[in-house]
Amino acid sequence: MRPQRPGQPCVEVPHQHVPLHGGMLVTAPDALGHALVVPCATGTRHPRNGHHGRRDCAGDTPGRLEMSSTYFFQEAWPEELARLTSLEAALDPGTKALLEPLSRNAKTCLEAGAGAGSIAGWLGEHIPPPGRVLACDIQTKFLERMSNAQLEIRRHDIAADALPADSFDLVHVRWTLFWLAPASRAAAVAHLLSSLRPEGRLLVEEPDFAPLLHSPMPAPLDQVITEHARLISERSPVDVTYGRRVYADLTAAGLRDTRTAARTHVIEPGRTETGGAWLRLALNRIRPDMVRAGMVTEAAFDVALRQFDEPNGLVFPLTMAVWGQK
C-alpha cells in the first residue's frame, strides 16, 4: 500500500500447530499455501448510492504527501495497479483471518492507506447494514473503481490530517507506516488511535524485509534486490525493518490489551498470490534509477530478472501484525 497512508519469520509449514517462541502458533497453510502465525497469549461523507462518494478530509483540502518527490510508486505509473493487486493477493488471506474476529461486532470501520481497495471492499461486504466503511488514501484513483453503498472514499494524509475523533469501532492500516519518517509516523499513530471509539480496536500490519534481503540467492539477483532496498532507503524516509518496532510504537502510544502475530511465505514464480509479480514490478520500477546511480548494469539486471523467474527460495517480507484496544 502507499503512504498516506516484522519478530521471527516462519515460512510455510505442513504442521497443524507448531509452537514457536513468543507465545505464538503456526497454523496449517491456508488455501493459498500461506502459513499464518497466530497468538496464543496476551501481549502487554458521503454515503454511496450505487456509485462511490468521495471527500477530502481536513476541510476538503487535498491530501499532502510529505515525500511526493521521493515516493517511487505513484498511481500515475502504468503498472502501479498491477503492483498493488499482486501485493494484496499475497497479504489478504492473512489480513482477513485477523480481521474476521475483530470486525464481528463492528459497525463503523476505517481502512487507512487503502491502496487498491481489496480490504476496504471486503469490509464493505462483510459489515452488515447500516454499518459503514471509510477508505482513506492520499491517492484514490484505484479506490474510485469500487461501488458499495456502505463504502465511502476520502483523499487523506494520515500523517498530516486528523481523522474524525471517537468515530470508529475498527481501524486497520497495512504496509503504510513504514513509508513515513519517524515524526510523521508518530503523528499518524496518534491520529489512528484518536479516531477509535472507546474500546475500539486497531489492527496495524507492517513489514520487515529482513527475510527477503537475507534469502539465499545467486548473483547478480542478490545485488539487485539489496541495492533496490538501499536506493529507496536513501531517497525516502522508508524503514524496511519497521515491522520489528511497530509493537513498541503502538504500546507506547497507548494501545492496550495488545496481541501480535507474524507471517511470511516463499515467493513462487508464476503464482501471483505469493507476491512474485509485486516484487518483479517493484524492481523494474526502480531499475532506471539504479542504473543511473551506477548500482547495477543493464546487463546484470537482465540476468537478475531471469534468475528471479526461476525457483530460488526467496522469502516474502515478514508482516508483523499488532492489534489491541483504545
| Tens-digit pLDDT profile for residues 31-90 | 333 333 333 333 333 333 333 444 444 433 333 223 334 456 666 777 899 999 999 999
**Domain-embedded: residue 271:** no
Give 197-209 pLDDT, tens digit per residue: 999 999 999 999 9
Query: What local confidence, expressed as pLDDT, does residue 72 receive?
Result: 62
In angstroms, rounded to a whole number, what is the distance separating the alpha carbons of residues 165 and 173? 17
Number of domains in the chain: 1
Residue 272's pLDDT is: 85
Q: Which of 34-43, 67-76, 249-258, 268-277 has the lowest mean pLDDT?
A: 34-43
Mean pLDDT calculated for residue range 313-323: 98
Residue 140 reports pLDDT greater than 50? yes
Residues near 26 by beta carbon (within 8 Å), at least 6 away in sequence: 10, 13, 15, 17, 18, 20, 35, 36, 37, 38
Q: What is the model's pLDDT at position 71?
A: 55
Q: Is residue 276 part of a domain?
A: no
CB-CB neighbours of 302 under 10 Å: 12
Query: Does residue 307 belong to any structural domain of this protein?
Result: no
Judged by average pLDDT, the poorest of 19-23, 56-60, 236-240, 317-321 is 19-23
Q: Which three cell numbers stand for residue 124?
A: 464493505
* pLDDT higher than 70, residue 266: yes
**Residue 164: cis peptide before it, omega within 30 degrees of 0:** no
CATH of the domain at 157: 3.40.50.150
Q: What is the mean pLDDT of residues 138-156?
A: 93
Q: Are 36 and 263 in contact (CB under 8 A)?
A: yes
Mean pLDDT of the chain, nearest integer:
83
Is the pLDDT at 264 greater than 70? The verdict is: yes
Average pLDDT over residues 185-192: 98
- Using left for φ > 0, alpha for ψ between -120 and 50, and beta otherwise, residue 270 falls in left
Whether 283 maps to a domain, the answer reads: no
Residue span of the structural domain in which 92 resides: 17-208+241-265+319-325
pLDDT for position 202: 99
User: What is the per-residue pLDDT across 80-134, written as a single tens digit (0 to 9) for each?
Assistant: 999 999 999 999 999 999 999 999 999 999 999 999 999 999 999 999 999 999 9
Q: 12 or 245: whose pLDDT is higher? A: 245
* 162 contacts 58 by C-beta, under 8 angstroms: yes
Q: Is 60 part of a structural domain of the chain?
A: yes
pLDDT value, residue 66 = 33
pLDDT number for residue 74: 63
Question: What tens digit of pLDDT does each residue of 6-37 get?
Answer: 333 333 323 333 232 333 333 333 333 333 33
Range of lowest pLDDT (71-80, 173-182, 246-255, 264-273): 71-80
The reply to whether 83 falls in a domain is yes
Q: For residue 118, is it within any domain? A: yes
pLDDT of residue 318 exceeding 80, the answer is yes
For residue 49, tell me if it sits in a domain: yes
